[in-house]
Amino acid sequence: MRTLIIGILLCATLNFAIAADEFAVIPLPQKIEAKEGVMVLSSKTVIHADKAGKPAAELLAARLRTATGYAFKVDDKINAKSGIVLVSDKTVAPGAEGYALEVTKDKAVIRATDAAGLFYGTQTLLQLLPPEVFSAGAAKSVNWQLSCVSITDTPRFPWRGIMLDVSRHFLTVDEVKRFLDVMGLHKLNIMHFHLTDDQGWRLEIKKYPKLTEHGSIRSESPAPGNRNKGDGKPYGPFFYTQDQIRDLVAYAQARHITIIPEIEMPGHVLGVISSFPELSCRGVPIEVRTRWGVEPDVLCVGNPASLEFMEDVLKETLELFPSKFIHIGGDESPRDRWKECVKCQALLKAEGYKNEAQLQTWFNHRIEKYLADNGRRLIGWDEILEGGLTPGAAVMSWRGIGGGIEAATHGHDVVMSPTSHCYLDYGQGRGPNEPETIGGYLPLETVYFYEPVPEKLPADKKKHVLGLQGNLWSEYLWTLKDFEYNGFPRACAIAEIGWTSAEQKDFGRFTSRLGTHLKRLDMFNMNYRKLDAPPVGEWKPTQIKSEPAPVEWDVTAATKSAGRHVAELNFTHGAHGIDIAWVALLQDGKEISRDVHAGFAGGRPRATSYTLQLPTHKPGVRYTLRAQVSGNGGTDSAGVVNWTLKPAAQ
Ligand code: TNX
């Protein structure tokens, strides 16, 4: 199995050549066959749709009307000889969410078994048109034509998610809608809504108005550039009314996105305890809802009122969100509080438990039963595994992939979201102009190479991997622009991993399609991060030894002038990283500069930038990078090398 997977990864070799015939569709469809000719959209083009296709047809028409200024009438004449046709068809399309799209000179026909597939067909159709099709107003002098093509497409995973943390910093309803629009464009279908946390409660609960009157005001936020201090400014009140939530849920549904609400418990609850101190073990009011200056606190699970309170909150939550899964958080609960608490210790003894983690399971079990009685399923962060999982619970694996492996091995469904590949709050570049982030380093290529099904998982358990999710934690994302910069284009990579088969993944081709795709994001005025120059080379497992040994890359073409250059070794995949002893620059085989420091390119990279001097650039000579590296605990590492000239001033 192992060799097979490595084989597949190797087949996805980096190919940076731009394939002229490649359609710039992201995520890449399963099968695209180019045909002769083009279809031209005009003021007379009509959209024909059956009942299942009608909502997607209306959305498509609205987009086309805005961009082209044409009328794009929608009717139900699905047998028409021309136009755009959306039709349900149980036989043609490849299963749930899949679709077939056939573009000929006269017609573009989308067939699918369900409404989601018809919607995804329209998203692909839009991406076959010029990027101006996403413009905010009528675009002038655009030739609205698309190449004839035959596409059949189906997603790899049912869970293709993005998490928005609106507790640490808030997004307005319109801003969330913007994300939902762009998620739909990428065929992302789960928006995990992190609505409550220590830093603010953002969901109106009618029974407990204090939650939003008081709990939605954070006393201060981290000051940009000075994270250990607050900015001294109260932040809030910011929250969604129940009407706004209903509006968002409907808006998402129209784009085939399920919003999964997260109500954190029993930890990350200062938003609750600040208003209801009697629900904590100490019963002491807590004022500040920041990460500094305040000890974390937790619900008192020994107090029956805590459970009743959360059930009340969930009752209203379930009325608002129709999703099958309800996320109950469960991460980073300061269980030590339960050690000092008379009520919690009494419960622990009465149940015959040995540790406090089992108290969390006790609590989860009751919440899970409440959810199950109401037809829902519990999902939580991987800490919920620690006291033993409740039977039907699903796990979101974030502290690496271990939690996912353990849970899936025991037959639980899992969503993979490891910090190493999916934490979109981590930094994505090392340049001087990068914004402040929480820390970490997660460049686009590392995200792209993520394989959500762990190699170690027994074959019969792989089906439990529902998919993956990119997380936008917002402690250091102050505004919508920051969410966008951190989200894109890494979310495009998440979308492709979730949708496209592993065999089709190819980073070089992905970035070449991104070139066009980013023009679409320009139309949304999106503040995405610009692409780095393509990597100058890569390393593969076959080049890595257990003892230090050199690996070389020809950088002649990428070395254009004298100055300070930076070589960046970016790990992309493999179970082990590489230790780097030094990196040197060679001119016609002779070393001219060397940076000696210990670096590590792996899941948690350290010091992977090497600075090298080129005093004078000589045309006609050969420049080579040489790195002295060794496998760290194994030799299956792979990665890419970036090579950039740094401006003189730094
Ligand atoms: C850990 S991931 C957290 C969040 C932070 C995030 C920052 C998880 C379940 N908990 O509360 O915002 O790290 O990366």
Q: pLDDT tens digit string along 315-350?
A: 999 999 999 999 999 988 899 999 999 999 999 999
Query: Would you state the pLDDT for residue 131?
Result: 96
- Report how far ligand 1's centroid is from the alpha carbon of 473 (Å): 7
Q: Whose CA is nearest to atom 13 of ligand 1?
A: 473
Instruction: Please tell me the distance from the alpha carbon of residue 121 to that of residue 128, in angstroms, as a whole number.
Output: 11
Average pLDDT of the chain? Answer: 92
Atom of ligand 1 nearest to the CA of 396: 9
Q: Which tokens go with 309?
A: 């309170």
User: Would you tell me how many other CB atoms lie within 10 Å of the CB of residue 254?
Assistant: 16
Active site members:
197, 268, 332
Instruction: Please tell me the distance from the alpha carbon of residue 565 to that of residue 647, in angstroms, as a whole number.
Output: 9
- Whether pLDDT at 15 is above 80: no
- Report how far ligand 1's centroid is from the alpha carbon of 419 (Å): 9
**pLDDT confidence band for 142 (50 / 70 / 90):** very high
- Report how far ligand 1's centroid is from the alpha carbon of 150 (Å): 43
The torsion angle over the Cα atoms of residues 476, 168, 180 and 496, rounded to 10 degrees, is 50
**pLDDT confidence band for 93 (50 / 70 / 90):** low
- Whether pLDDT at 293 is above 90: no
Instruction: Please tell me the distance from the alpha carbon of residue 44 to that of residue 42, in angstroms, as a whole number.
Output: 5
Query: Would you state the pLDDT for residue 516?
Result: 95
Please choose from 473, 474, 475, 490 the residue to mutate so as to test ligand 1's pocket, defined by most ligand atoms within 8 A of CB: 473
Q: Which range has the worst mean pLDDT, 9-13, 316-320, 346-350, 418-422? A: 9-13
Task: Identify which of 499, 522, 526 has the alpha carbon closest to the alpha carbon of residue 510.
Answer: 499
Please choose from 168, 196, 262, 331 the residue to mutate so as to test ligand 1's pocket, defined by most ligand atoms within 8 A of CB: 331
Q: Which amino acid is at 607?
A: A
Q: Which tokens go with 231?
A: 């900015």
- Report how far ligand 1's centroid is from the alpha carbon of 423 (Å): 9
Pairing of strands 638-645, 563-573: antiparallel
Cα–Cα distances (Å) from 327 to 106, 279, 645, in that order, read 47, 21, 45
Q: How is residue 21 annotated by DSSP?
A: T
**pLDDT confidence band for 12 (50 / 70 / 90):** very low
- Whether pLDDT at 534 is above 70: yes
Task: Identify which of 182, 195, 237 has the alpha carbon closest to the alpha carbon of residue 212.
Answer: 237
Task: Identify which of 331, 276, 333 has the alpha carbon closest to the alpha carbon of residue 309.
Answer: 276
Q: Whose CA is nearest to atom 8 of ligand 1?
A: 331
Q: Which range has the worst mean pLDDT, 124-138, 214-228, 588-602? A: 214-228
Could you give the percent of the chain with pLDDT greater than 70? 95
**pLDDT confidence band for 285 (50 / 70 / 90):** confident
Query: Would you state the pLDDT for residue 290?
Result: 57
Atom of ligand 1 nearest to the CA of 329: 9
Q: Whose CA is nearest to atom 5 of ligand 1?
A: 473
Query: Would you state the pLDDT for residue 48?
Result: 98
Q: Which tokens go with 560?
A: 């254009």
The gap from C-alpha 173 to its chain's centroid, in whole angstroms, comes to 20
Tell me whether residue 338 is exposed, middle or buried, using C-beta atoms within 10 angstroms of its C-beta: 0 to 12, 13 to 18, 19 or more.
Answer: buried
**pLDDT confidence band for 650 (50 / 70 / 90):** very low
Q: pLDDT tens digit string along 472-527?
A: 999 999 999 999 999 999 999 999 999 999 999 999 899 999 999 999 999 999 99
Instruction: Please tell me the distance from the alpha carbon of residue 195 to that of residue 173, in angstroms, as a whole number.
Output: 13
- Report how far ligand 1's centroid is from the alpha carbon of 475 (Å): 9
Q: What is the 3-state secondary structure (H, E, C) of 488-502?
A: CCHHHHHHHHHHCCH
Please choose from 194, 197, 332, 423 the residue to mutate so as to test ligand 1's pocket, defined by most ligand atoms within 8 A of CB: 332
**pLDDT confidence band for 6 (50 / 70 / 90):** very low
Pairing of strands 222-223, 200-201: unpaired
Helix, strand, or coil (residue 28): coil
Q: pLDDT tens digit string along 372-403?
A: 999 999 999 998 998 888 888 999 999 989 99
Q: Which tokens go with 254?
A: 């129209």
Query: Would you state the pLDDT for residue 7?
Result: 37
- Whether pLDDT at 45 is above 80: yes
Helix, strand, or coil (residue 481): helix
- Whether pLDDT at 9 is above 70: no
Atom of ligand 1 nearest to the CA of 383: 9
The residues, any chain, with a CB within 8 Å of residue 575's CB and separated by 6 or more, are: 455, 634, 636
- Whether pLDDT at 2 is above 50: no
Q: Which tokens go with 203?
A: 């969901």
Atom of ligand 1 nearest to the CA of 473: 12
Instruction: Please tell me the distance from the alpha carbon of residue 580 to that of residue 483, in angstroms, as a whole number.
Output: 33
* Ligand 1 interacting residues, C-beta cut-off 6 A: 331-332, 381, 398, 423, 425, 438, 473, 475
What is the tally of helices (H) and strands (E) in the chain? 17, 27
User: Would you tell me how many other CB atoms lie within 10 Å of the CB of residue 319?
Assistant: 13
- Report how far ligand 1's centroid is from the alpha carbon of 420 (Å): 13
Could you give the percent of the chain with pLDDT greater than 90? 84
